[in-house]
Amino acid sequence: MKSNIIEFEKFKLKTTKDVFFPRDDIEIFPRALKNIIKIDSKILELGTGTGAISIAIAKNFNNIKIVATDINSSALRIAKENAIINKVDKIIDFKKSNWFSKIEENKFDFIVSNPPYLSKKNSKYYTELTDPENSLYAKNNGLDDIYKIFELGVNYLNKNSYIVIEHSHNQTLTLKDHSKKYNLRLLKSEKDILGFNRVSIFSNSV
């Protein structure tokens, strides 16, 4: 499979056509974690693609452990290569998993994810996107995978821990409302380079 290399400030990534192409604002995740991450934090990334988010986090913080998952075997292959290229392969464990299906480690301090969140109803606006379809679209107006991550994720969180999730800017209020069902609380939404809410931080702290 033909590959390309794209460069970010602190790391570079190999990409291929059969894996979601990482977007420019990947550094929004380390920014979201900056004031809340602790030494020895255990992080679970769901849907790692090329490994972009986990690698960005591993390059920004010391003394952390990450488990990074994807359902797509090609994604995991390239994510492992990228972790080696960026010398963070000792920090990140990769695992094939359908969301939480193969997650045995019981508790994490952070669950981070950029899951599929586009609505198929709007696919006519996204005809230029060449990423694999199952990396883009989710049922229920794009909300189904995020809802699953809330519902199952709370069982994998330590006390005073966080779900940090990327979403479409117009999903913020719906997610804020829905998260209450699982005793999660919206702390903050980080904005993307266009000034739109893009990554929201939810906490299970009381």
Ligand X SMILES: C[S@@+](CC[C@H](N)C(=O)[O-])C[C@H]1O[C@@H](n2cnc3c(N)ncnc32)[C@H](O)[C@@H]1O
Q: In the numeric block, which tokens belong to residue 43?
A: 């992080």
Selection from 107, 35, 102 nearest residue 65 by Cα: 107
Of the CA atoms within 13 Å of residue 151, those in its CB half-sphere come to: 7
The one among 3, 63, 98, 123 contacting ligand X by CB under 6 A: 98
Strand partners, 101: none
Looking at residues 20 to 79 of the shown chain, list those that interact with ligand X (rule: CB under 6 A).
20, 22, 46-50, 52-53, 69-72, 75
**Residues sharing a CB contact under 8 Å with residue 120, sequence separation 6 or more, in sequence order:** 137, 139
- Give the span between the Cα atoms of 203 and 180, in whole angstroms: 10
Nearer to ligand X, 22 or 153 (CB): 22
> Minimum CB separation from ligand X for residue 75, in Å?
5
Stretch that binds ligand X, among 108-116, 122-130, 156-164, 169-177 (CB under 6 A): 108-116
Binding residues for ligand X, rule CB under 6 A, total: 21
Nearer to ligand X, 198 or 202 (CB): 198
* Residue 116 interacting with ligand X (CB under 6 A): yes
Nearer to ligand X, 44 or 160 (CB): 44
Nearer to ligand X, 196 or 205 (CB): 196
> Minimum CB separation from ligand X for residue 179, in Å?
20
> Minimum CB separation from ligand X for residue 159, in Å?
26
Task: Please give the C-alpha separations between residue 119 and each of 17, 142, 168, 171, 191, in angstroms, as whole numbers.
Answer: 22, 4, 10, 11, 21
The one among 86, 114, 119, 200 contacting ligand X by CB under 6 A: 114
- Give the span between the Cα atoms of 59 and 53, in whole angstroms: 10
Would you say 27 and 61 are in contact if contact means Cβ atoms under 8 Å apart?
no
Looking at residues 117 to 176 of the shown chain, list those that interact with ligand X (rule: CB under 6 A).
134-135
> Minimum CB separation from ligand X for residue 50, in Å?
6
- Give the span between the Cα atoms of 123 and 178, in whole angstroms: 24
Nearer to ligand X, 98 or 140 (CB): 98
What is the dihedral angle through the alpha carbons of 150, 198, 82, 135, rounded to the nearest 10 degrees?
60
Nearer to ligand X, 63 or 98 (CB): 98
State the residues that interact with ligand X by CB under 6 A: 20, 22, 46-50, 52-53, 69-72, 75, 98-99, 114-116, 134-135
